[in-house]
Chain A
Amino acid sequence: MQPNISGKIQITLAGVSFFGDPFELRPGWDEENEIGRLWKRFSHQSSKLENDIFSDTNAGYEVHITTDETLEKGTFEVFVGMRLDLDRLELCPPEFCIKVLPETQYAVFTFQGDQIVSDWEKAIQEWMAASLYLSTHSYNFQYYDARFKGMDRLDDSIIDVYVPVAEKA
Chain B
Amino acid sequence: MAPQLEIIHQAVKYIEDHLHLRVTIAEIADKCGYSLYHFIRLFNKFTHHTPYDYLIRRRLSTAYRDLENTRRTITDISFDYCFENPESFSRAFRRVFGLLPSDLRAGEPLQGTFPIPTKTLEDMAFTQREDFTPPELVEVDEMVLTGLPVVLNRKNKLEEMAQIEQLRSMFGKYGIGIGSHLFSIFSFDADPCQPGYLFSGIKTDSSSFFPPVCIQRIPFGLYARISYEEPCRRQALNYLLFTWLPGARMRMGHHFLMEEYHFDQDISAERNIMVLVRNRRVL
Residues of A within 8 A of B (CB): 21, 23-24, 26-29, 64, 70-76, 119, 121-122, 124-125
Contacts and interface: CB of A to CB of B under 8 A. Distances in A.
B34 A119 contact: yes
Interface in B9-66: 24-27, 29, 33-46, 48, 50-53
Given A28-B45, A122-B34, A23 B40 contact: yes
A28 B13 CA distance: 22
Given A21-B50, A28-B45, A74 B40 contact: yes
Highest count of chain A CB atoms <10 Å: which of B26, B41, B43, B53: B41
Contacts of A21: 40, 44, 50, 52-53
B250 to A, nearest CB: 15
Given A26-B44, A73-B24, 19 more contacts: A21-B53, A23-B44, A23-B50, A27-B42, A27-B43, A28-B41, A28-B42, A71-B24, A71-B27, A72-B24, A72-B26, A74-B29, A74-B52, A75-B52, A76-B37, A121-B35, A122-B33, A122-B38, A125-B35
- The interface centre, meaning the residue of A28, A76, A125 with most chain B CB atoms within 10 A of its CB, is A28
Nearest to A24: B50
Contacts of B51: 74
A71 B36 contact: yes
B38 A74 contact: no
Nearest to B49: A24
6 contacts: A21-B52, A29-B41, A74-B25, A74-B29, A74-B50, A119-B34
Interface string B245-261: 00100000000000000
Contacts of A122: 33-35, 38
Residue with the greatest number of chain B CB neighbours at <10 A, chosen from A26, A29, A122, A125? A122
Contacts of B29: 74
A168 B241 CA distance: 52
Nearest to A20: B50
Q: Give 7 closest A-B pairs by Cβ, nearest first.
A: A121-B35, A27-B44, A27-B45, A74-B25, A119-B38, A71-B26, A122-B35
Contacts of A76: 37
Contacts of A121: 35-38
B126 to A, nearest CB: 15
Given A21-B50, A70-B26, A72-B26, A27 B36 contact: no
Nearest to A22: B40
A112 to B, nearest CB: 18
Given A21-B44, A28-B45, A73 B37 contact: no
Contacts of A72: 24-26, 52
Contacts of B52: 21, 72-75
Contacts of B36: 70-71, 74, 121
Contacts of A27: 41-46, 48
A26 B50 CA distance: 10
Contacts of A73: 24-25, 52
Nearest to A122: B35
B34 A71 contact: no
A60 to B, nearest CB: 19
A29 B41 CA distance: 8
Contact of A64 (B37, B43, B46): B37
Nearest to B27: A71
A119 B38 CA distance: 6
B125 to A, nearest CB: 15
A15 B53 CA distance: 28
Contacts of A125: 35
Contacts of A74: 25-26, 29, 36, 39-40, 50-52
A143 B227 CA distance: 41
B46 to A, nearest CB: 8
